[in-house]
């Protein structure tokens, strides 16, 4: 049955398939031997190429970038876990943190019907027009034969819940014959001791479950777009790539023989699953197969995995796969320069829909047989209408949430979370901030990253990775001297820590008898020894490499080469080290040796873009424009988003007399990096001297100056940090005579009056006014008056426990109680007790200033508090509180703090009207003391 969009045009189906960590280096031998026939057929009928990944190479971030066309710092998914919204513990990452629409939300607004199965993250399932099965669907959470319930929110619509539950495959149901294909020696392995067999079975079951659900939905449900995600190749690779041929010296002969076929059979399984899904489509369907990153399978497999959260990402290769086939797509051709950011814009173009100008990707026009005209829209996020996403009140930024929860605890407005839960939430928040910084760095926004890394380094000085990334940011913003000082401080602290750990180890071993060593220690003692050994170890290669890079950044290339040669002495083969050596040789005008060293780096890693750029630069300096252009295009083919490559290409094309192509290349360079004064100046030179376009030349000259000014600002640390604007005004009573709410005094006395707002927004002032006006207020006087609130806080300690216990409020009709905005959703149900709410609003900067001063007075102010992050979090929590109040249809009187101070008579008249006219307005107005308005802005 044909589908139609909102304009009545026939819609061709699009199937997007995701294979996490799939890599051409593993696929090509299987294609050559005929063991992936379904993928082979797809390639022959379409296009294929590399898909450049992003940094950091963490799957939830990357798959959301594929679905949105935006970098993680824009879409908001920043890691594997996130703090719970209440700041107590953490949870697996959800889609509730996402800040941008995914492709299925955009299509939802355009009249398309979608199927989304297993996408990461897609829990809880969004109420789209179609079906969504979340990434929590496939996991077996119970022993075989036991009940295996699905979490709430796993499936939308609910009518499909039972049918989809029945399609799941338990690991214990895997056919032994299939298992033996993965592990031919299966019968001889003791599975009680070797849990790797169980891991293989779980991974096969997960992948098969996803395929069953996708094929069933494609067969039985009407759809225009489908997105299906498989994580199994990533699991097979992390678990078994060490056993993939050729044999590594790190694995035993027995393990190699047992598990050498696991990875390639994982790929063969996926080809079979691909074939099953292809049976559910026709020749008019466009199919796109992608992976978010690759996986090192050769001599570049890392020897050591970093001992840090997300450390296994070191095994990821920065290039995934891209295959696209269908009507209007070229056949059996290679494409170059694609990035995972390009997938969403390309799908929109297939649907003849405009691409968001705020998307970071481009349409892959080289996939299509006929020329396509790309249309644009400022942002799909600004388009109103049903997009099938969760209601705004449900969306919580985990990073901002945890910071604001911490601030509320410090201020005394909510209870201290459990220590272990708080630590878990803090660690999750820390990693999200770190990943946000790395996302900024990947986009070239080193100034934004620097601000975050400074905060992280100050809070966790023992986490050297934060400091090392900060050093790199300083180097990239021309703060080389500062970078060198920071690095030396980090390395000295690391050496001191190692020396202390070595002494502790010696003392520990001296106190242990031989029998203790041989017979085993208690688990805690063993863990302590492991931790001490890690702290006592010194990475000589890494320290020499870093010191060399720091010397290089300040221009001391002779010293840099000394350190790089020290690093070479550790017998570690590193293309990155050779590139750094070549850069210093180039700076010392040892051009021949520099070129030779760049070539050696490429012999180790043929896809090292930095080595290619080095050769590109040498060729340009020597006047070999043709070679420069070819080398630049090689880089662009791998990583289109490389401004330096487009710059070198533009310079080379200029030298070859191809002016229009040169302007185009240089234009891309400054588009990708606006802070690129050399590219702007080169454009100005072409426009003025070759094209005689004075206006354009003047524009480019001005742009070069602006770019230089921004760079100098970053060098001085004057980096603008984005904050949140104030929420929109919600004051139906503003101006004119007070609104007549039409309530009797009896109705008011039977209700509970809630005074709410953000902490330090003026809620205590409202409580004072109500008290003075003769209305009972609920307070236990536990928190005494002080310099921050000289007339008292008017708090009731039980309010802090609302998330756990709220029934106590039912017995307090006819009183006013202060409840901060963040706790409003935890009030008892509206039908159990009628509420009226006075909601205090105040300038967010004033609130933050007041909170910081209060924390300082309490001795709890943090040295590097992330103010912009907290402000953004409070802004969103205000919007969520207002969305909650609107959804519950609770009467609310919004009061502006500044008006309360400056126009008290008018405000108390509004409050009295809201309260049925039972208050003494003259005494209420007398409470206001403008001298206590001490944290005003403007």
pLDDT in tens, 42-71: 999 999 999 999 999 999 999 999 999 999
Say how far apart CA 245 and CA 828 lie, in whole Å. 62
* pLDDT at residue 725, rounded to an integer: 34
Q: What is the pLDDT of residue 734?
A: 39
**Burial letters 809-848, b for 16+ CB under 10 A, else e:** beebeebbbbbbbbbbbbbeeeeebebbbbbbbbbbbbbb
Listed residue (447, 478, 469) closest to 717, CA to CA:
447
Q: From CA 23, how far away is CA 20, in angstroms rounded? A: 9
**Summary mean pLDDT of the chain:** 86
Please give the share of the chain, as a percent, with pLDDT higher than 70: 87
- Decide which of 217 and 510 is more confident: 217
pLDDT in tens, 14-27: 999 999 999 999 99
- Asked if residues 611 and 602 have their Cβ atoms less than 8 Å apart, the reply is yes
Cβ neighbours of 668 (radius 10 Å): 22
The per-residue pLDDT for range 783-829, each reduced to its tens digit, is 888 877 888 889 998 898 887 788 888 888 899 999 998 888 888 87
Task: Give the model's pLDDT for residue 792.
Answer: 85
d(CA 71, CA 407): 28
Task: State the Cα angle at 199 between 193 and 203, rounded to 5°.
Answer: 165
List, for residues 761-787, the tens digit of each pLDDT value: 999 999 999 999 999 999 988 888 887
Does residue 580 contact residue 549 with C-beta atoms inside 8 Å?
A: yes
Question: Is the distance from CB of 464 to CB of 534 less than 8 angstroms?
Answer: no
How far, in Å, CA of 541 to CA of 549, rounded?
12
Q: How confident is the model at residue 865 (pLDDT cuts 50, 70, 90)?
A: low
* Measured torsion, CA atoms of residues 459, 465, 471, 473, in degrees rounded to the nearest 10: -90
pLDDT value at position 721?
37
- pLDDT at residue 723 greater than cutoff 60: no
Name the pLDDT band for 854 (thresholds 50, 70, 90). Answer: confident
The whole-number pLDDT of residue 719 equals 43
* 3-class DSSP state of 511: coil
Is pLDDT of 519 > 50? Answer: no
| C-alpha closest to that of 72 among 53, 87, 86 | 53
Residues forming beta bridges with residue 18, ordered by sequence position: 229, 290
- Give residue 724's pLDDT band: very low, low, confident or very high (50, 70, 90): very low
Lowest pLDDT segment from 171-175, 473-477, 624-628, 642-646: 473-477
Answer yes or no: is pLDDT of 515 > 50.
no
For residue 731, what pLDDT is reported? 43
Residues 6+ apart with CB under 8 A from 442: 54, 55, 56, 71
Q: Measured between alpha carbons, how far is 708 from 718 in angstroms, rounded to an integer?
A: 13
**Per-residue confidence band for 530, with pLDDT thresholds at 50, 70 and 90:** low
pLDDT (average), residues 734-746? 63
Residue 533 banded pLDDT, cuts 50, 70, 90: low
Phi, psi of 710 (to 5 degrees): -65, -40
DSSP-assigned letters across all residues of 610-677:
HHHHHHHHHHHHTT-HHHHHHHHHHHHHH-S--HHHHHHHHHHHHHTT-HHHHHHHHHHHHHH-S--H
For 188, the 3-state DSSP assignment is helix
Q: What is the rounded distance in angstroms from the CA atom of residue 934 to the CA atom of residue 902?
A: 13
Helix (H) or strand (E) holding 289: strand 286-290
Counting every residue written for the chain, the total comes to 938
Contact (Cβ atoms closer than 8 angstroms) between residue 890 and residue 837: yes
Longest pairwise C-alpha distance within the chain: 94
Quick check: pTM over 0.85?
Answer: no
Mean pLDDT of all residues in 731-749: 62
pLDDT over threshold 70, residue 514: no
pLDDT tens-digit readout, 268-312: 999 999 999 999 999 999 999 999 999 999 989 988 887 777 788
């Amino acid at each position: 049955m044909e589908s139609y969009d909102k304009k009545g045009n026939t819609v061709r189906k699009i199937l997007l398939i995701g294979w996490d960590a799939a890599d051409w280096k593993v696929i090509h031998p299987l294609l050559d031997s005929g063991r992936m026939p379904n993928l082979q057929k797809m390639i022959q009928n379409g296009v294929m190429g590399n898909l450049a990944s992003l940094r950091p190479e963490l799957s939830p971030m990357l798959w959301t970038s594929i679905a949105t066309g935006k970098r993680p710092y824009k879409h908001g998914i920043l890691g594997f876990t996130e703090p719970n919204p209440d700041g107590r513990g953490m949870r697996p990452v959800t889609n509730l943190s996402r800040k941008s629409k995914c492709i299925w939300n955009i299509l939802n607004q355009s009249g398309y019907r979608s199927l989304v199965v297993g996408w990461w993250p897609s829990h809880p399932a969004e109420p789209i027009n179609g079906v969504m099965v979340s990434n929590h669907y496939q996991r077996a959470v119970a022993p075989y034969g036991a009940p295996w319930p699905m979490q709430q929110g796993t499936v939308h619509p609910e009518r499909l819940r039972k049918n989809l539950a029945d399609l799941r495959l338990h690991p214990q149901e895997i056919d032994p014959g299939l298992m033996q294909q993965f592990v031919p020696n299966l019968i001889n392995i003791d599975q009680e001791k070797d849990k790797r067999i169980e891991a293989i079975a779980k991974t096969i079951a997960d992948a098969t479950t996803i395929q069953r659900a996708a094929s069933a939905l494609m067969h039985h449900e009407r759809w225009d777009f489908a997105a299906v995600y498989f994580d199994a190749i990533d699991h097979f690779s992390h678990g078994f790539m060490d056993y993939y041929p050729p044999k590594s010296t790190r694995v035993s002969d027995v393990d190699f023989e047992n598990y050498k076929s696991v990875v390639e059979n994982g790929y063969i399984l996926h080809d079979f699953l691909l074939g099953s899904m292809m049976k559910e489509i026709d020749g008019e369907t466009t199919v796109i197969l992608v992976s978010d990153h690759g996986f090192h399978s050769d001599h570049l497999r890392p020897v050591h995995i970093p001992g840090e959260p997300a450390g296994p990402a070191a095994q990821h290769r920065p290039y995934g796969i891209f295959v696209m086939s269908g009507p209007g797509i070229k056949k059996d051709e290679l494409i170059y320069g694609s990035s995972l950011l390009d997938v969403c814009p390309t799908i929109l173009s297939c649907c003849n829909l405009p691409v968001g100008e705020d998307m970071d990707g481009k349409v892959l026009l080289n996939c299509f047989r006929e020329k396509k005209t790309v249309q644009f829209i400022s942002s799909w996020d600004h388009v109103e209408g049903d997009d099938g996403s969760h209601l705004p009140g449900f969306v919580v930024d985990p990073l901002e949430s945890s910071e604001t929860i911490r601030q509320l605890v410090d201020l005394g407005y909510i209870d201290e979370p459990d220590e272990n839960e708080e630590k878990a939430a803090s660690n999750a928040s820390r990693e999200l901030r770190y990943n946000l910084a790395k996302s900024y760095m990947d986009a070239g926004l080193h100034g934004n990253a620097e601000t975050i890394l400074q905060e992280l380094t100050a809070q966790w000085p023992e986490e050297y990775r934060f400091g090392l990334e900060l050093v790199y940011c300083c180097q990239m913003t021309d703060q080389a001297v500062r970078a060198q000082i920071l690095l030396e401080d980090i390395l000295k602290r690391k050496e001191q820590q190692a020396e202390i750990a070595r002494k502790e180890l010696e003392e520990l071993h001296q106190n242990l008898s031989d029998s203790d060593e041989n017979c085993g220690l208690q688990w805690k003692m063993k863990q302590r020894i492991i931790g001490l050994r890690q702290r006592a170890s010194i990475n000589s290669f890494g320290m020499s490499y870093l010191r060399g890079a720091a010397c290089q950044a300040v221009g001391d290339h002779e010293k840099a080469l000394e350190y790089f040669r020290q690093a070479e002495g550790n017998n570690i083969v590193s293309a990155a080290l050779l590139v750094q050596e070549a850069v210093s040789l180039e700076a010392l005008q040892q051009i021949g040796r520099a070129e030779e060293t760049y070539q050696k780096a490429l012999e180790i890693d043929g896809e090292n873009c930095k080595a290619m750029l080095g050769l590109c630069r040498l060729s340009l300096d020597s006047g070999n424009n043709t070679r420069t252009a070819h080398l630049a295009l090689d880089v662009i083919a791998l990583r289109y988003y490389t401004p330096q490559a487009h710059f070198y290409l533009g310079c080379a094309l200029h030298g070859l007399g191809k002016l229009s192509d040169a302007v185009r290349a240089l234009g891309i360079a400054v588009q990708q990096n606006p802070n690129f004064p050399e590219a702007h100046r080169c454009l100005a030179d072409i426009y003025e001297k070759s094209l005689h376009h004075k206006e354009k030349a003047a524009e480019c000259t001005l742009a070069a100056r602006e770019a230089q000014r921004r760079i100098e600002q970053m060098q001085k640390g004057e980096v603008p940090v984005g904050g949140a604007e104030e929420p929109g005004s919600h004051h139906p009573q503003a101006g004119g005579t007070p609104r007549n709410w039409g309530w009797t005094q009896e109705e008011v006395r039977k209700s509970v009056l809630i005074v709410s707002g953000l902490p330090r927004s003026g809620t205590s002032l409202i409580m004072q006014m109500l008290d003075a006006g003769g209305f009972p207020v609920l307070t236990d006087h536990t928190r005494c008056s002080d310099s921050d609130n000289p007339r008292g806080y008017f708090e009731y300690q039980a309010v802090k426990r609302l998330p756990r216990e709220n029934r106590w409020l039912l017995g307090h009709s006819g009183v006013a109680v202060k409840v901060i905005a963040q706790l409003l959703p935890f009030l008892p149900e509206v039908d159990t007790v009628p509420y009226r709410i006075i909601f205090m609003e105040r300038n967010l900067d004033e609130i933050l200033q007041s909170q910081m001063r209060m924390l300082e007075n309490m001795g709890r102010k943090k040295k590097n508090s992330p103010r912009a992050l907290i402000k953004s979090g409070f802004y969103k929590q205000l919007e969520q509180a207002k969305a909650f109040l609107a959804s519950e249809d609770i009467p609310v009187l919004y009061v502006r703090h500044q008006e309360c101070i400056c126009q008290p008579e008018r405000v108390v008249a509004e409050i009295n009207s809201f309260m049925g006219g039972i208050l003494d307005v003259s005494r209420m107005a007398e409470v206001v003391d403008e001298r206590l308005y001490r944290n005003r802005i403007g």
